[in-house]
Amino acid sequence: MNYRERLKEKKRIVIKIGTSSLTHPQTGRLNLRKLEVLVRELSDLHNQGKDIVLVSSGAIGVGAAALGMMGKPSELKKKQACAAVGQARLMMIYQKLFSEYNQTAAQILMTKNTMVNNVNRKNAENTFNELLELGVIPIVNENDSISTYEIESVEKFGDNDTLSAVVAALIGADLLILLSDIDGLFTDDPNTNPQARFIDIVENLDENLINMGKPSTGSKVGTGGMATKITAARIATAAGTDMVIANGSDFHTIHKIMEGRNHGTLFVGSRKEEFYLIDYIDKLL
C-alpha cells in the first residue's frame, strides 16, 4: 500500500508549528515572511475543502522578545507574563494574515485539565467541531499564562507536540503534521552519529522505536524533543490518525506532504480497538 499517496485524500488535518520554525534565531522575534507562507499554505488547503487546525507555539518567546528580554526567562511568573503578551501578539498577526486570504481564524487556549475533566473535554470537542463546521481555522496553544510548572503533572501538557496529538485524537483528525527543527526520525542522533539512518515510514510503533526518542533537540527555543514527538505518535496513531514529522525550515513542505511526496517520517495510524483518549493522557502524560 502506498501510504504517502493516500495523504492526498486526508480531510481533517492538524498542523503543529514549533517556536524555532516561527522565529528568527538571532532575536527570537517572529519571522514574518515565514508566517505569510504558513498562512498561505493553510488557506490554500482550506480552499480545497479541508478542515484545518493550527497548533502554534511561540507565545512565550514572542512575549519575551516584545518585553526586551534576551531569550526565555526561567522564572515562572515571568514566563506567564511573557505568554500573556506573546499570545495576544501572535493572534493579532495570525488574524491579520488569515483575513488577507479571506479566512476566519479563532483562538482556543487549553490546559491539561481541559482534557482530564469529562465536561470540559466534551465542550472542547463541541467547540472544535462547530468552528470547523462554520469554516473557521482554530489556532490552538496551551494556556501558558494559567498552567503552572509546579503542578505540571495535573495541569500542563508540557509541549505542543503532545497537545497537537491530543487535539487530533479529540476531533478525529485524519492527519497530524509536526513541523519542527528536525527532518524526521533517525535510528540515532544524526548530529553525533554519521551512520544514523533516516526512517521514511513507521507502520508499527514498537518498543525499539519508542526507545529511540531523545530527551531534546539541538534547539534552544523549543520545548519538544524527539521523546515528545514519539509520545505524540503513540497517541495519534492509536487514535487512527496518520502523523508526519518534518522539518519546518520551509513551510512549502506542507503542500508537498499533502501531495504525497517523500518529506519527513510518516507514522501510519492504526486505531486501537479500545482507544480511550483519557487513558492515553493518564498513561503517557
Tens of pLDDT along 54-99?
A: 999 889 888 998 899 987 888 888 989 999 999 999 999 999 999 9
pLDDT value, residue 190: 79
Of 176 and 190, the structure prediction assigns the larger pLDDT to 176
Query: Whose CA is closest to 213, among 226, 198, 196?
Result: 226
* Structure confidence at residue 214 as a pLDDT band (50, 70, 90): low
Whether 234 contacts 280, CB under 8 Å: yes
Q: For residue 187, what pLDDT is reported?
A: 82
**Per-residue cell: 77:** 511568573
Q: How far apart are CA 30 and CA 64, in angstroms?
A: 11
Q: Which three cell numbers stand for residue 37?
A: 507562507
The domains found in the chain, sorted by start residue, are 5-284 (3.40.1160.10)
pLDDT digits (tens, 9 = 90+) for 106-146: 999 998 888 888 999 999 999 999 999 999 999 999 887 76
What is the per-residue pLDDT across 216-238, written as a single tens digit (0 to 9) for each? 444 443 334 678 899 999 999 99
C-alpha cell read off for 199: 526512517
- Going by C-beta distance under 8 Å and a sequence separation of 6 or more, which residues neighbour residue 194? none
**What is the distance between the terminal CA atoms of the chain, rounded to a whole angstrom?**
33
Q: Are 254 and 41 in contact (CB under 8 A)?
A: yes
Residue 76, C-beta contacts closer than 8 angstroms, at least 6 positions apart: 148, 149, 150
Q: Are strands 175-180 and 12-17 parallel, antiparallel or unpaired?
A: parallel
Averaged pLDDT for residues 242-249: 96
Q: Which of 109, 145, 19 is nearest to 71 (CA)?
A: 19
Instruction: Label residue 1 by pLDDT band (50, 70, 90).
Output: low
